[in-house]
Each structure stands twice: as C-alpha cells, then as structure tokens.
Amino acid sequence: MSIFRQESFSDALFIERVKRNVEYLPNLVAVMRIAIAVAVLVFYLLQNNNNTGSVHFERLPLFAWEGVYTFFILVTLFLPQVKAAKFRGIYPLAINLMDIFMIVLLTHLAGGVETGFGIFVLPFIATSCFTTGGRNALAYASFATILLFLTSISHLWLTDESQSAVQQDIIVAAFLSLACFFVALMSAYGSVNIRRALNTISRNEEQIAQLSNLNKLVLEHAQEGLVVLNHTGKVVLFNNQAKNYMPDLFLDHTLSDFDNILGIWQGHIYQSFDEICHCSGKEMQIHAVPLTEQEPPLLLLSMRSSEEIDRASRTDKLASLGQLTANLAHEIRNPLAAISQANELMLESIAMDEDSPYTTLANMIGHNVKRINRMVQEIQAVNRSDRLDRTYIQVRKYMEEYLAEFIISHPDAQGCLDIRTECDESVYIYMDDGHLHQILDNLMNNAWKYCDKGEYAIQVATRLKSETRELVIAIADNGPGIPKENEQRIFEPFFTTSSEGTGLGLYVAQSLAMANNAVLRYRGTLRKFELIVKAELR
C-alpha cells in the first residue's frame, strides 16, 4: 500500500496543470486572433466617428485585411486537418508564419512600426515557439525582422519624411527586431524545458500505472485487514479483508470500535502499539503504526481475528508435530521390525507347549506391535498428503468397485450395506485415487466397527448437487454415534475414545481431503460423515 506525501500530490498537480495549459495553448492563440481582429475593427469605427488619433486606416485595405484574417481564423478553427494537428501538439509551421505576416501587415496598414502595432507580433512569436516545442525559434524571429524592416523601408519610400523621422523609424524597427529574437529565444528555452519534463512524465506514466496497480493488488490480497484512520477517527482507506471483518466499514465514516485505539494513539502519537479490541462482534488483534509523514498524521491499522491467529498457531504446531512424529516413526520402524521378528521366533519355539505362560505374553507383544505399526503407517500417511497424483475418476464405477472390495475384505458385511447412487456415468471428480481409497477405508471401517452388524446397518449414498456441481459421498451407520461434546474434537490428532484406536484416522482422512481440495465433515444431527468434492460432467 502506498500513501503519497502531500508534496507529491502538489508536484503532480502542478505538472498536470502545466501539461493542460500547453495543450490549451492553440485555443488561446485562436482567442488572441479573434480579439485582435475585433479590436482593430472597433478601433477603425471609433476613429472614423471621432475623426481623431494619429493612426488612420484606409477603408479598403483594412476591410481586405479583416476578410483575409477572418477566413484564416475560420480555417484554423474548423478545418479537420488543422484542428487535429493542434490537438496532437503538432502546430504547422505555415500557420505560425501566417500569424506573424498578418500582424506585420496590420502594422504596415496602420502607418508603420512607429504606430506601436508591431508590438503585437511578440505574443505570436512566443506562442509559435511554445506550440512547436521550441523548434524554428530563430526562423520566426528572422521572418518577423525581415517583414518589419520591409515595412519600414516601404513606408519611407511611399512618404516624404525628414531624415530624423527616417532614423527614428529604423531605430524602432531595430529595437522591435531585437525584442523578437529575445522573446523567441526565451520562449524556446522555456518550451524545451517544459517539453522535456512532459516527455519524462509520459515515459514514466506506464511505470507509475504499473506501480499503482501493484500497490492495489498487494493491498487487496493482503491476509491482514488494513484500515487507515485520520486524526478525527474517520476511515481514509481500507482493503477487502478489513471489509470482510467489518461489513459496516465505509470511507469517511467514524466507528466506535476504534475509540480505544484512537485514545492510545493520541497519547503516543509517534509510537507503534498492539491492542486487542472487538470489531463487529469479533475479537481482533490490531497492530497500529502512526504515519507521521502525513500532515495531519494518519494511523495504519493491521488487523487479524484472534480465531485466525489461533488457527494459524495450531497449524504451525501440527506441522512441527508432524515433522517430529515422521522422524520418530522412521526411527521406530527398524526396532519394531526386530521386535516383531524376535516375537515370531519365540512363538515358534514355544508352539509345542500351548499351556506355557509365555504364549500369552508373546501374543500380547504381537498385538501391540501391530498396533504401533498401524500408528506409524498413519503418521507416514499424514506426511504424504502433499504428494498428489490426481486423475479424473468416474464416481459410479469407482464406488461400485470399492464397495465390492470392501465386502470381500469383510465377508460378514454382506447384506449390511444400504447403497444409494444418484449420479450416472457422466460424473467425474479430479482426485488422487489412493487418497480417496484411504479416506473411504477409514470411514467404512469406523462405520463397520460401531454399527450393530445387522441388515442395512451402514448407509452409503452418492449424489450430485446440481446447483453447485459438488459430489457428496455420505457414510452413516446405526451405531451409537459420536457424543455431542466430542464432535468438535474428532478431527484432532491423537484424539480417541477407544483403547484400541490411535486417534489419527480421521485426522489423516481430513488432511488427505484438504490436500485434494475436498471437504470432510461430520453432521452430528444426521450422524453421518460427508466427503464433498468438486465434480465435472463429461
């Protein structure tokens, strides 16, 4: 997440204003043309009515100039090619030269450079340099200078003036020419710098956009809820996770849940701190970081629910426990195999004496060796849950083959299964078939262990949720069920109520289901286990 400093906003605003002004410059030139054309016409009409002033326009030349200039203005305003060139920032050289020529011609019609009309050429030289990015600046100044001196020479040729008047006219033209070069050079210098800055901004705009998108992506996919408050407690910024925690969270709103946080912040304006508070009925652990670079300062809250933190802690502990037990299981297998082999040899040596007390002890050793070996296998199964070899499994065929195999391995279960299949051959699931087999083994063996072994003692149902495209494999039995107080713990490792159990069966089954993006759950009210997997129709 990025929160820009106020100076950065001001700089960006200034640059955007300069960029906008440069883009609008051609429109400003058009306004200048119209203003000059209208002002000259009004000046002529007022001069004729009052018959005063030292500047006298002749009717026909002035009206001809007005007509040509009006036509030129209309062309620059409405001709599509010229209009498109303006908005692309490419101002044709001929249009700028035409502006200078028309202003110098107006100066000539007014009576020469001594009338002062020649000063109007300077703004057009400046705008010509700006609109072309500082290019051809000397060309514009030179063109204006040539025209001004031609105007002075032609005016002196056509009139009889004293030598002092001629010298004064030449001096005015010379000073005006110097002003043209000065304005052209200064405008070109300023235009080049502005264009360079704008080009740099244009080159960086894509990078800025990418960084902005990346900041937004990081903000929205953060696991923690992020909220930014101002000094009054109003919400300035938040991400999706914060909104999930607090549905009543809105921009520019003040929440009473943060009152205690604000009180601590006001007492420790520059220090980070941790606090536990209740937000929208949830206990949240909040880490507050003051953003003192802002003016006024802001407060960044990073929040996670205590439930999630406890769950993550349990996951870490289970991961550590899994690694430890996996190492222990590996170390146990070798001595366990030696004990088992020695026990078998001992049984062979005392087989002739069935009444020997050592026979009972040897059988007890063999029974416990098998139990420890089964526990070791289940521990190793947990650590193999991330080794997936998923394939597309046709559900109907797989379940028929599995249940047939179960009856072969449990002959007494013949007639005890109530099988209901509500999905056809088009239903497939994407899952590791070895993991699926192990999950079903655990559920079916538990069901067979606790049922009354009567007719239809175990119910196996397979159905497809058409609205969500989920396959549900449900296994229930008519046994006593799981006590209510134990329902929340049956998937914990090493939790068992049986002296013969290891407490790892359901934990392993749920771990394998999660590894395959499936859900294994127990529905206490219906006394059945459900395995829910995303299905596909083929």
Q: Distance between CA 266 and CA 307 in Å, rounded?
A: 29
Tokens of 408: 């072969």
H or E segment to which residue 464 belongs: strand 458-465
Q: What is the pLDDT of residue 10?
A: 44
Q: What is the pLDDT of residue 393?
A: 93
CATH number for the segment(s) 390-537: 3.30.565.10
Q: Distance between CA 490 and CA 497 in Å, rounded?
A: 10
- Nearest Cα to Cα of residue 191 among 144, 121, 140, 137: 137
At which residue do the structure tokens 């006590």 appear? Answer: 483
Q: What is the pLDDT of residue 473?
A: 94
Q: What is the pLDDT of residue 458?
A: 92
Residue 86 neighbours by CB distance under 10 Å: 20
Q: What is the pLDDT of residue 196?
A: 78
Task: Confirm or reject CATH 3.40.50.360 for domain 225-305, answering yes or no.
Answer: no
Per-domain boundaries in the chain = 6-204, 225-305, 310-383, 390-537
Task: Note down pLDDT in tens along the chain; length 538 residues.
Answer: 433 333 344 445 555 665 666 666 777 788 888 888 888 888 878 776 655 555 667 778 888 888 898 888 888 877 655 554 444 444 557 788 888 898 888 888 887 777 778 888 888 888 888 777 777 888 888 988 988 888 888 777 766 655 566 677 788 888 888 998 998 888 888 878 877 777 776 677 667 677 777 777 777 677 788 888 888 888 888 888 888 888 888 888 888 888 888 888 887 778 888 888 887 777 888 888 888 776 778 888 888 887 777 767 766 666 666 666 667 666 777 787 778 777 777 777 776 566 666 777 777 787 777 777 776 776 666 655 556 778 999 999 999 999 999 998 888 888 899 999 888 889 999 998 888 988 999 999 989 988 998 888 999 999 998 888 899 999 999 888 888 888 888 887 777 777 666 677 888 888 888 888 899 999 888 889 999 999 988 8
Q: What is the pLDDT of residue 512?
A: 85
The contacts found for 523-530 with CB under 8 angstroms, 24 or more apart, are 524/481, 524/482, 524/484, 524/487, 526/476, 527/476, 527/477, 527/481, 527/482, 528/459, 528/474, 528/475, 528/476, 529/443, 529/474, 529/475, 529/476, 530/472, 530/473, 530/474
The answer to whether domain 225-305 and domain 390-537 are alike in fold is: no
